[in-house]
Chains A and B, each alone.
Chain A
Amino acid sequence: MLSVDSLRFGYGDDSPVLTDVTFSAGAGEVMAIVGRNGAGKSTLLRLLNGLLQPASGRVIVNGNATARTPVHLLAREIGTVFQAPEQQIFAPKVAEEIAFGPRRLGLRGAALKARVADVLLRVGLADVADRHPLDLDAAALRFVALGSVLAMRPPIMLLDEPQRGLDAASLARLESIVAEEAAGGRALLIVCHDMEFVARRASRVLALAGGRVAADLPTQEFFTDPALMAAAGVEAPDPLVLAQLLGLAPQLTATALAQAWIAQRAEVAGA
């Protein structure tokens, strides 16, 4: 679905931001892209959606090389939710903002209305469909941006720090959307600094360090290698740390940790 081969990129004459980056992402995969600030995560997203072109190497999005496909056509295959959602909003109503993308894809009439209504429900904005997006709070604005990309139904979605600034309820909604999209066969690549979120939702972790791929592993494997986590500048999620302290096998989520602990207690009681 998405393949990146020997990618190299730099801004101007400075040392390259990304060197020899190779990975691929398939349908239904949720890949977290992690690394320190300045590791090249957001730059990588811009290379994936064609906004930037690599100095060498190639990016293939659903069979289309980004070097040969205009960005507006790539948008059918790969949708991007940027860090600052307010930067894309221009329509006077939430519903119109969400309709922008599918309308550009040629959707009209009842089909367009149905698509927009469906997305509004999923992102929890049905009640504010007629409000001006800039009248909404920051979390709702983030869901407007997410909804505008969901409405285009691209096979691949790039999310840049989607969980930033969300309260617990909004975060739960985001996680449920991520899970639904993955279950629906989309590939999601999420730049994220929140390791709890990564541990709960990502199936794989692509760690960048010094502009190179430091790790491309299943989430559990990544979080059980302290050297890799140190290289990527990330800390282990709390459930994993607690599991280690309790002498349990590695657990990535609070639920899994609780279940493992209960099982261990039952085992001890039984013995």
Chain B
Amino acid sequence: MPGSSLLHRANPLTKLAGLVWIISAATVLPAAGDALLILGGFALALLTGIGPGVLKRLVITLTPLAIALCVVHGLLIPRAGNVFIGPLAVSLAGLAFGVTILVRLAAILTGSLLFVMTTHPGDLLKALDARGAPPAVSYLIASPLLLLTPLAARAGDIRDAQRARGLDLTGSWKARVSALPMLLIPLVALALTDLDHRVLVLNGRAFQSGRRRTVLDPPADSAKQQWFRRIAIALAVLQLGLLLRWH
């Protein structure tokens, strides 16, 4: 999402290092710590102007997951000390475990959304190139993000083309589900046929030449951001090391 906040302007690698730290912290911390991470992340999202977008995506993504975790860990997996609510045997320990997992995932998702919603894939690619990352690595990281916009546009075009041929996408759920192949098959087939073309174009432009590429307008960087990255990565390694030692 466009914006001019500090987070938007930060070097993508700095944000990536921050995300790595959040993921490792969320893995190590107890549920209360993860909840603090979520609150901190959401406060940052509000300050950055992407709060509503982050909240919407969190709710859409986590609601089905929350239901599934509650059902599986609270009702289906047998544990000691069940509480009976009517005919249901509810495991409080299972629910607590489900909540722990949910909060951990929410913390990781909040961090990921902060990164994704404030970073243009092209800027990430430039930042990786500017730091001398191998082209294949840059491409592997950035290409899924770069493909999102064109794929969404193409999905819209495919939908329009099928509607113009009489496909009803406004009817019952059954009709909509049966229409899915007509929408998904062209999308997937085109994405796959594009791969060949993409490889040829990249190789034709000396993608694998191996020499370090000069980035004409690399994202701004600073000594402070470099130190932040070093500390974030070191903390992440330390946290994961402690986790391994404790377990």
**Chain A: residues with CB nearer than 8 A to chain B?**
46, 49, 51, 70-72, 75-76, 79-80, 82, 84, 86-90, 100-101, 104-105, 134, 148-149, 152
Q: How far is the CB of A250 from chain B (nearest CB, A)?
A: 37
B165 engages A104 (CB within 8 Å): yes
B163 engages A82 (CB within 8 Å): no
Q: A72-B168, A87-B154 are in contact. List 5 more A-B contacts (CB 8 A).
A: A51-B160, A71-B163, A88-B161, A90-B162, A90-B186
Can you list 23 A-B contacts (CB < 8 A)?
A: A49-B164, A71-B164, A75-B163, A75-B164, A80-B164, A80-B165, A82-B157, A82-B160, A82-B161, A82-B164, A86-B186, A86-B193, A87-B158, A87-B186, A88-B161, A88-B186, A89-B189, A90-B162, A100-B182, A101-B166, A104-B166, A134-B189, A152-B165
How many residues of B sit at the interface, in one of the four size bands?
Answer: 20 to 34
Which residue of chain A has its CB nearest to the CB of B167? Answer: A72
Task: State the CA gap A89–B157 with chains docked (Å).
Answer: 12
With known contacts A70-B170, A87-B158, A88-B158, A51–B186 Cβ distance under 8 A = no
Count of A-B contacts with CB under 8 A?
68
A105 engages B166 (CB within 8 Å): yes
Q: How far is the CB of A23 from chain B (nearest CB, A)?
A: 20
Q: How far is the CB of A123 from chain B (nearest CB, A)?
A: 16
B170: chain A residues at CB < 8 Å are 70, 72
Q: How far is the CB of A154 from chain B (nearest CB, A)?
A: 10
Task: State the CA gap A101–B165 with chains docked (Å).
Answer: 6
A72: chain B residues at CB < 8 Å are 163, 166-170
B182 engages A51 (CB within 8 Å): no
B158: chain A residues at CB < 8 Å are 87-88
A104: chain B residues at CB < 8 Å are 165-167
B189: chain A residues at CB < 8 Å are 86, 89-90, 134
Which residue of chain A has its CB nearest to the CB of B189? Answer: A134
With known contacts A87-B154, A87-B158, A134-B193, A51–B185 Cβ distance under 8 A = no
Asked if B190 lies at the interface with its beta carbon under 8 angstroms from chain A, I say yes
* Chain B, 115-167, CB within 8 A of any chain A CB: 154, 157-158, 160-167
